[in-house]
Amino acid sequence: MTQTPNQDSNILGKFTSVLGLLSAALFFAGWIYRWSYFYFFQLELNTLDLPAQSFLIVPLQIFLGDGWTICKTAIAFFIAAIAIQATLWLIKIISDTVVSASQLLLNRIISATQHKRSWTAKQLKSLAEFSSGQLRSVEFLRSLVNEIVIVSWVLIVIFWLARWQGIADAQRDAGQNSTLPVVALITPEEKFAVGRKLDNIFANPSLKGYRIIGDRGLFDDLRGREDNDLSNPKQPRVWRLLLERGGWIYLFRALPPNAKSNELPSVLAIQESDKGHIIIRSPEVSKTSSP
């Protein structure tokens, strides 16, 4: 039995609709993940100008990153399915109760005004009959509410899964088990107020001609600690590359092993130099990092 063109068009239309909803859900998940991840590093996602297509790939990490992530996703959507069924059941009970009570009230009004000839009684009876007819089309409204409930619960689950995974990955990358590369940035000193001199790492660069607005302590905490130092295992100092985007290089000093759960890393944003620079990336700290 061959399918008619109308059937083919209907199937294609449904497939296109499902694909559009899936793409929107994946983009939403990717955006929430990236927003949570970079918010941990105190960066605003909208300022990073990330390509839109990258948000469609990130959800693979959210839902299928590893075995535990897959189990967590399955559990979350299973609970969401239960919550959806419970919510729909509750809405049905409430709507049926309201419809029954309203229908009973309207029937009494119609019965009470059946044989009365006053203008008010006639108008009241007409209004009651009209409302009674409208109650029969309540199924359409209930169907719309049901769809809103389903979409809302799905979005809530996606939001929290993406947010939790984004924060978890950011905490991992900010610590000692980071997947981000160790970095060595070499740049001309004319436009760079911090950093160690290559020919004399113990000498601070001159600050003549520079000015500051804001917290001087943040600068003092950075100055003299721009290089990696593994001499103290409890407080190692490792600089990593977070992102290169829009002419800016974002570096941060990894958190120590004993960092508090609410501790956030300080991020150093460096504008790319017009005289050129060198960035050396490495998956691990070099053995010559300790003085």
Task: Please check whether residues 157 and 220 belong to one and the same domain.
Answer: no
What's the rounded Cα separation, in Å, for the pair 45 and 32?
10
**Taken in order 284, 201, 229, 189, is the CA torsion positive or negative?**
negative
Among 141, 174, 207, residue at a domain's last position: 174
Task: Please check whether residues 187 and 102 belong to one and the same domain.
Answer: no
Residue 199 belongs to some domain of the structure:
yes
Q: What pLDDT score was predicted for residue 40?
A: 92
- pLDDT tens-digit profile of 157-172? 999 999 999 999 999 9
Among 174, 191, 211, residue at a domain's last position: 174
Among 174, 207, 228, residue at a domain's last position: 174
Q: What pLDDT score was predicted for residue 9?
A: 58
**What is the model's pTM?**
0.77
Task: Please check whether residues 18 and 156 belong to one and the same domain.
Answer: yes
Task: Please check whether residues 204 and 163 belong to one and the same domain.
Answer: no
Q: What pLDDT score was predicted for residue 78?
A: 92
Q: Give the chain's domain count.
A: 2
Q: Which of 21, 20, 25 is nearest to 156 (CA)?
A: 25
Residue 208 belongs to some domain of the structure:
yes
Task: Please check whether residues 64 and 131 belong to one and the same domain.
Answer: yes
What's the rounded Cα separation, in Å, for the pair 35 and 58?
12
One digit per residue, the tens of pLDDT, for the chain of length 291 reads 455 556 555 666 666 776 777 888 889 999 999 999 999 998 988 888 888 888 888 888 888 878 888 898 899 989 999 998 999 888 877 766 665 655 555 555 555 555 555 545 445 445 544 455 555 555 566 777 888 888 899 999 999 999 999 999 999 999 888 889 998 888 877 767 777 777 777 777 777 778 888 888 888 888 888 888 888 888 888 889 999 888 888 999 988 888 887 888 888 888 876 666 777 777 788 766 544
Measured CA distances, 184 to 69, 175, 176, 252, 288 (Å): 33, 18, 17, 12, 12
- Give, to the nearest 10 degrees, the angle between helix 119-135 and helix 67-112: 150
Task: Please check whether residues 128 and 253 belong to one and the same domain.
Answer: no
Task: Please check whether residues 31 and 59 belong to one and the same domain.
Answer: yes
Task: Please check whether residues 201 and 148 belong to one and the same domain.
Answer: no
Task: Please check whether residues 54 and 195 belong to one and the same domain.
Answer: no
Residue 109 belongs to some domain of the structure:
yes
Q: What pLDDT score was predicted for residue 108?
A: 57
Q: What pLDDT score was predicted for residue 291?
A: 47
Task: Please check whether residues 29 and 83 belong to one and the same domain.
Answer: yes
Residue 290 belongs to some domain of the structure:
no
Other CB atoms closer than 10 Å to residue 268's CB: what's the count? 17
Task: Please check whether residues 143 and 190 belong to one and the same domain.
Answer: no
Domain span including residue 37: 12-174
Residue 6 belongs to some domain of the structure:
no
Residue 288 belongs to some domain of the structure:
no
Residue 5 belongs to some domain of the structure:
no
SS3 state at 255: coil
Residue 243 belongs to some domain of the structure:
yes
Q: What pLDDT score was predicted for residue 116?
A: 56
Q: What pLDDT score was predicted for residue 12?
A: 64
Task: Please check whether residues 163 and 41 belong to one and the same domain.
Answer: yes
